[in-house]
Structure 1
Amino acid sequence: MLRFRSIWFARLAIILAFFALWEIAPRVGLMNERLLPPLSDVIAALIGLLGSASFYPHLGTTLFQTLLAFLIAVPAGAILGILIAENRFASEVFKPLVFFIFSIPKSIFLPMFILAFGIGLTQKVAFGVFSTIFIVMMTAFAAIASVKEEHLRVARSYGASTMQVVLRVYLPSMTPVLLEAVRLAMIFNFTGILLAEMYASRRGLGNLIGTWGMSFQLDQLLAAIILISGLSIVFNETIRALELRLEHWRG
């Protein structure tokens, strides 16, 4: 318990020191206020954003697109990963391709999505799915490999159907690993949606960030970054809590 408190105290001290440095450095001239506005100015801008009715349609657009892409990419990636990993020939053919495509920066494909889908919901969601699905597939490969062979052998020896094997053996064994992938997937998904909005959108947080960056409104820009960071932390900690509840399935 003492060690736990010490860790949290150290984390809190680092965060407070960072915020204090952020506030003081521009005030005393260590940083140009035009390049790094003081934290108090950024907080004021954030409060202004949250108090503006015109901000919430942009936030809602981004969250809806992110959720939709996430709900498509995670199940699709998990299913494709399982199907590929379960078949030796498919594994030999497709696994190297998945790893190869994953290694390529996804942003270079964005113009192709704009040309193929235009500027709209479909383009953002499709690019979000494309940015996310490969990390889920790769984790599914690893999850399949983590399933104990003796568990499969026992289930099949008792005549379990393919669906029963998936639900009673694969799913409990894979869930903790896949939950780790879910946390990573949301990062890739959120990044993909914001990137698509920055380059080809009239609404959304990405569009606002791009506009504020080009017009040098750094207090607004940093306020949006703080908000996005907060949303990401909430999601990450929610999945982490669920992951801890299912930790007993690893055995």
Structure 2
Amino acid sequence: MSRTATTLIRLAMLIVFLGAWEVLPRAGIVNPMLLPPLSQVLAVLGDILARSDFREAMAVTAAEVVVAFVIAVPIGGALGVLLAENAYLGAIFRPMLFYVFSIPKSIFLPMFILAFGIGFGQKVAYATFSTVFIVIMSAGAAVESVKAEYILVAQSYGASRGQILRRIYVPSMMPILLEAVRISMIFNFTGVMIAEMYASRTGVGHMIANWGENFMLPQLFAGVIVLALAAMAFNELIRSLEARCSRWRS
């Protein structure tokens, strides 16, 4: 199927979904108290975006997401490469990492509240903790994806360690690393939202939690739309970079 056809199908599915969102509550098929019509949600969204307190909350959330992401990705990437390159350390720590990764991170949130209080540092630390494990495992998988024969050929021609890193490892690992970045942002974003919804006085997550607790469904769905659009924009940005880098593995 061509890319144009795929895009048209996706667009048609989106139109059907949005149309159903508007029609079903209006027709009474779905309780409008549970699912407000799309037009009502969009009207509320316009009002919310015009409010200074919501823009300030978006700025706080964006800062938390960016700082946690900048901390988690380099640390996780370095640890992942180290464990993949060192068989001894990998044999010791990898089972522990998989064990911790399998545990729901939300159960650790009270520990971060006790350690950092309720503020910017607590949300950044918790989001970093939620993100770093997926980066470690993805970076390790990226190292293992490098074909051994490429390294052997480079070494036979006298390539230095730095040249092998730049010419072999980086091009081969880049598509997987970009995929890891895309997935890690999901974990990072989710970590910030959980921290804001359960232990925060600021941020979009805090406002969404308040709207939900007070059954303000139009405002709740409007906030969800904002978060969804931000997540999709980042996802498409990384996907475009993945497409450009995929030729390096051919």
TM-score (norm 2): 0.96
One-letter amino acid matched to 1:71 = V
Pair 1:208 & 2:207 matched: yes
Secondary structure (helix, strand or coil) at the match of 1:246 reads helix
Q: After superposition, where does 1:156-171 map in structure 2 within 5 Å?
A: 156-171=155-170
| Cα gap change, 1:7 to 1:102, in 2 (>3 Å) | same
Question: How far is the alpha carbon of 1:6 from its aligned partner?
Answer: 2.4
Residue 107 of structure 1: aligned partner: 106
One-letter amino acid matched to 1:41 = Q
Secondary structure (helix, strand or coil) at the match of 2:52 reads coil
CA distance in 1, matches of 2:165, 2:3: 38
- Deviations along 1:60-103, whole A, 9 cap, x unmatched? 00001000100111111111000011011111111111111111
Residue 74 of structure 2: aligned partner: 75
CA distance in 1, matches of 2:27, 2:120: 45
Question: How far is the alpha carbon of 1:160 from its aligned partner?
Answer: 4.2
Question: How far is the alpha carbon of 1:11 from its aligned partner?
Answer: 1.3
Question: How far is the alpha carbon of 1:109 from its aligned partner?
Answer: 0.7
After alignment, is 24-33 or 177-186 more displaced?
24-33
Residue 41 of structure 1: aligned partner: 40
Question: How far is the alpha carbon of 1:121 from its aligned partner?
Answer: 1.2
Residue 132 of structure 2: aligned partner: 133
CA distance in 1, matches of 2:63, 2:243: 27
Residue 153 of structure 2: aligned partner: 154
- Structure 2 residue ranges without an equivalent (≥5): none
- Structure 1 residue ranges without an equivalent (≥5): none
- Deviations along 1:141-176, whole A, 9 cap, x unmatched? 111111011222233345544444333321111111
Residue 244 of structure 2: aligned partner: 245
Secondary structure (helix, strand or coil) at the match of 2:30 reads coil
**Count of residue pairs the alignment pairs up:** 250
CA distance in 2, matches of 1:137, 1:162: 22
CA distance in 2, matches of 1:159, 1:118: 54
Residue 22 of structure 2: aligned partner: 23
CA distance in 1, matches of 2:166, 2:216: 52
Secondary structure (helix, strand or coil) at the match of 2:126 reads helix
- Deviations along 1:175-214, whole A, 9 cap, x unmatched? 1110001110000000000110111111101100110000
Secondary structure (helix, strand or coil) at the match of 2:2 reads helix
RMSD: 1.4
TM-score (norm 1): 0.95
Identity of aligned residues (%): 52
CA distance in 1, matches of 2:166, 2:116: 36
Residue 186 of structure 1: aligned partner: 185
CA distance in 2, matches of 1:31, 1:125: 39
Residue 86 of structure 1: aligned partner: 85
CA distance in 1, matches of 2:203, 2:186: 17
One-letter amino acid matched to 2:96 = L
CA distance in 2, matches of 1:67, 1:142: 24
| Cα gap change, 1:69 to 1:6, in 2 (>3 Å) | same
CA distance in 1, matches of 2:213, 2:156: 64
